[in-house]
A and B are shown apart, each in its own frame.
Chain A
Amino acid sequence: MPILWLFLIVLAIAIAGYYLGKARVMRSADGDRRHMHSLPSYYGGNVAIKAAVPALIVMLIWLLAQPMIVSNAVSGMIPQAAIADNSSRGLVLSEVRRTADGLDMAVSAGTLDAAAASDPQADLDAVTEGLQQAGAIITSQITQPVLSAAQSYRALNARGTLIMSAVVIVLSVLGALWGLRDAQADYRARNVVETAVRWLLISAASIAILTTLGIVLSLVFNTVEFFRLYPASDFFFGTNWAPSFSGRGGSSDLGVLPLLWGTFYISLVALAVAIPIGLFAAIYLSEYASNGVRSFAKPLLEVLAGIPTIVYGLFALLTVGPLLVSVFGRDGLGIMPAGTAVITAGLVMGVMLIPFVSSLSDDIINAVPQAMRDGSYGLGATKSETIRQVILPAALPGIVGAILLAASRAIGETMIVVLGAGAAARLSLNPFDAMTTVTAKIVSQLTGDADFASPEALVAFALGMTLFVITLALNVFALYIVRKYREQYD
């Protein structure tokens, strides 16, 4: 745990600096805090920040950069001959990394002594046995190039960590000294500390940008990798989804259209359930219901949105599916072969979406000014005529926005379709057929035993990209509509 220790050492230096700085400024002001520019704790904080922040930043950058540099260096050492025909440099490199980790494990477990672990002339059999005894995951007998690469990997890493520790500690001490030099009564410590805190706040806020960047980059890189192995036109316009993990490259059909159709169809069924129920519930709650009913029914409906989706998934698989089969299945109408089907997942997802539609629409209907209702009543309209001809048209853009948000929710929903919709990718119009969606396929492609170099695993990233783009477009559009028309009556 050297990194944890290093972190704790830096922290200790910072804490010591805090108290030293505080003491020093008190001395320089002759113990009278009225002579100082800032409160004493700011001088201490100034020392602590200068001791910790540059050191920790260097440590973070080093930790991110070192593996890449070491991997590059080691990768150059592997001779072309050592790479088997059906393998690649990346695979050998990951084996090297595994072996290096195994050597560390073996040394700490005592099955291999430190000298033997770094001895280039070590007996391969003995090393392999030592690794296996320590419980390291190695596939087969270690070969000489892999062993020597792993040894230099370890050596480089150990040297890198050592240099990093030294640099970080020296930086931390220097920072503390710099802060201590500044701990004089007329130094503007509060301004320095507050600037630092402000940067801390800004960096916390920037994590949203970093996350988005991370999502986009991880999707884009892997998607590009996928399209290098599999033609994009076949992916976007293929009507057949048939991945085969056994044959690598070319033998799988990875057309996205059946998945998009399944996603679209299930979402449609879900919205057909959620929109009428949600909308009528919202109208009743905001226009007709008494305060008592409202304060009782609204939170209860919202409970439906707070239930984890795995619960809905299980509900679809074990309750709704068998129920539908008993009505439409072989004993009933005979049109539903199994419990997992579009209608099962769609119905349950519709139930989940009811509160999304109702709560958002409720807010929007409430935002329609009372003057419009009064005007309509004054002309002699009944309540329902007012609602249908005045309030709903006025609230329509907002309601459309709410429905779009619910639709994007439906498209991105995973657990209900994984458990309730089946796994067959097909282009069919029958709602009693099993179908599958983009999200369900992402799960099944990435939880198998595929290696990340095959198109069958990489396709999940292309699917994720498709999903991300579709839901993002829907969300942006929905938010745009809601925002634009909500201000209309202000």
Chain B
Amino acid sequence: MSDASLSSGAAPHSGAKSLLVQDARTRKRNAAERRFKAYGMIAILIGLFFLVVLAVSIIRSGTPAFTQTVVDVEFTLTADQYAAAEGELFKTKAYEGLLIEQIRETLEAQGIDVAFDAGAIERLLGKPGGTLREYYRANEQSLGSPVSFQLAAASRVDGYLTGRVTREALQDTRFMQASDLDLVDALLEAGIITRAFNWTFITGADSGVDNPGGAGIGASVIGSFFMMLVVLILSLPIGVAASIYLEEFAPQNRFTDLIEVNISNLAAVPSIVFGILGLAVFIQFMHLPQSAPLVGGLVLTLMTLPTIIISTRASLKSVPPSIRDAALGVGASKMQAVFHHVLPLAMPGILTGTIIGLAQALGETAPLLLIGMVGFVARGYPDGVLAGFTEPNSAMPAQIYTWAARADASFYEKAWGGIIILLLFLLTMNIIAIILRRRFERRW
């Protein structure tokens, strides 16, 4: 009835209304709708934007750590020159003179003219004479034939090439002078200075505060490895056992309630509190060695347990009851049903959860600071397997923190490079977890 009266146009209060023409209020509501949707999109884009910025700044700042500026020079030493140099009082100085001669000739052959002296070469290359002499004393047979040397350049040359050291900001010091940069430019033009892959960064150990060029992450990778070994050996069996009890056997009583509340609380305790626990219990009370991967692993185990327990319980829960019933039906005990039938079926899920837990533990830094894995400089590899657990060492995140906290800005590059390595490890672990999940995923 009301439809009829409206369509007749008899209602005096309402103007002409058409479905095709929006009135002001509808326009407003639709605009609000579009705005709201746009806010949502913008929020997602901001989140993804941050992710991209993070990725770009890691890759851009971190990749220089993997290459190193080297002076690639072809050097020929005749037997006569060798004998003459060995006869002099300052032997390495003589080699250096010969090297300078060689570089000058190479530059002249390409028609590049620049003045430099032994001081400049020393500032760029450290003491190259010693390296040359060492080589020829060990390999006398290569006298007379050209040998290609790759000499590591000083970290300031490195910085000049990567843009960290600029011509404008440079002040003449005993490390580098403005005139040296001309030489660097000339050598660059001649193709003598190049960048080569920096194996020292991958395999080396941490250096002192005055040698950013020689710092490597290898030793702390080993430290992290031993730490993760402790975490894996302890947290997997304990976590799985705890989950089996809680999921399959636990009666509903106050004790199991207490355990459950504790586990969910532990998952949310700040990581630094676990560091305090480790310091007070493992180091102060039990007198375990400070800075040792063993202690770091114990602390991280306690942190990882809740993650593993939560994911293991989820995958135990996803095994259908019919499997248990069938096992019980053929005369297995409850324990046999769980260990022989449920657990193997839940294993892929458990492993996935474990890998994700380990990945979290691998990136954790704060608790390691407190048990002394930062004060120690990882100067070398451990002597053996047992020493790997108990000898002081660093871990990857702690090593990155150490570098970031140092005053010399050239260590920042190393820190970013270390982060790339750390993220590569995490990525590998996560990919393994995803593959496991895909490969063994069951739907009942």
Contact = CB atoms under 8 A, between A and B. Distances in A.
B242 to A, nearest CB: 4
A301 interface: yes
A92 B334 CA distance: 56
Contacts of B36: 383-384, 387-388
B416 interface: yes
A158 interface: no
Given A204-B245, A209-B258, A308-B426, A280 B276 contact: no
B342 interface: no
B265 A472 contact: yes
Contacts of A317: 404
Contact of A311 (B35, B271, B284, B419): B419
Given A201-B245, A277-B46, A405 B29 contact: no
A288 B271 contact: no
A447 B367 CA distance: 11
Main secondary structure of the interface of A (DSSP, over half): helix
A382 B47 contact: no
B370 A446 contact: yes
B412 A308 contact: no
Contact of B29 (A201, A285, A382): A382
B322 to A, nearest CB: 23
Interface string A427-468: 000000000000100110011000010000000110010011
Contact of B40 (A209, A283, A310): A283
Interface in A468-487: 468, 471-472, 475-476, 479
B268 A384 contact: no
B241 interface: yes
Contact of B269 (A190, A215, A297, A384): A215
Contacts of B335: 194, 197-198
A414 B33 CA distance: 40
B54 A310 contact: no
Given A306-B426, A405-B268, A447 B245 contact: no
A132 B279 CA distance: 28
A222 B277 CA distance: 11
Q: Chain B: interface residue count, which band?
A: 35 or more
A319 B57 contact: yes
Contacts of B365: 308-310, 313, 414-415
B249 A198 contact: yes
Nearest to B39: A280
B264 interface: yes
Interface string A170-213: 00000000000000000000100010011011101111110110
A363 interface: no
B305 A280 contact: no
B276 A464 contact: yes
A285 B375 CA distance: 45
29 contacts: A205-B259, A209-B259, A209-B262, A215-B269, A219-B276, A281-B43, A284-B39, A284-B43, A287-B40, A301-B51, A304-B47, A310-B365, A310-B404, A310-B419, A311-B58, A317-B404, A318-B61, A318-B416, A319-B53, A351-B47, A384-B35, A405-B268, A418-B401, A442-B272, A443-B370, A447-B375, A464-B272, A471-B269, A475-B265
Given A204-B242, A218-B277, A289-B44, 18 more contacts: A198-B245, A202-B245, A215-B277, A277-B47, A278-B43, A284-B43, A303-B51, A306-B426, A310-B419, A314-B415, A317-B404, A318-B415, A384-B35, A412-B270, A446-B276, A460-B276, A468-B269, A471-B269
Sorted nearest first, the 10 A-B pairs with minimum C-beta distance are: A412-B270, A284-B40, A308-B363, A218-B280, A280-B43, A204-B241, A384-B36, A201-B245, A414-B366, A205-B242
